[in-house]
Amino acid sequence: MGTDAVLLGSWVDVNKAKVILDVGTGSGVIALMLAQRTEDDVQIDAIEIEKEDVSQAKENVLPSPWPKKVSIFEKSFQEFVPPLKYDLIVSNPPYFINSLLPPTVHRARTRHTEHLTFEE
């Protein structure tokens, strides 16, 4: 979790949102921050491509006060078929473009635009 995730989770306007999508949820921190800041009837779907991160997000959501409010999906953004129409979509996207890739695929997927471009 980085400062950028904390800022996004605290700054995004959630006032009129009833159905929210968090793209690339990672550990689920943004989804949980949005759950904390919204009414009880708000539904938050969070998608993540990395299996380890999906497990971590589920571990973080389950003991939270909002396990029925936040749903975690192990899917890439490109393969995700939304079950609902979203009022708000948030993402802390990969942000390195055409830069030296790290040695692990996991870190490359989460921080570089190789698998999720800004256009997508």
Domain ranges of the chain: 3-93
Residue 30, SS3 per DSSP: helix
pLDDT for 6: 55
**DSSP-assigned letter for residue 112:** B
38: left (phi over 0), alpha (psi -120 to 50) or beta: beta
Q: What is the pTM of this model?
A: 0.77
Rounded CA-CA distance 29/22 in Å is 10
pLDDT for 32: 96
Q: How many CA atoms lie within 13 A of 101 on its CB side?
A: 12
- CATH level 3 topology of 3-93: Rossmann fold (3.40.50)
pLDDT band, very low/low/confident/very high, at 109 (cuts 50, 70, 90): low
Over residues 35-81, the pLDDT tens digits come to 999 999 999 999 998 899 999 999 999 999 999 999 999 998 889 99
Rounded CA-CA distance 113/120 in Å is 10
Contact of 95 with 113, CB cutoff 8 Å: yes
pLDDT for 22: 95
pLDDT for 72: 97
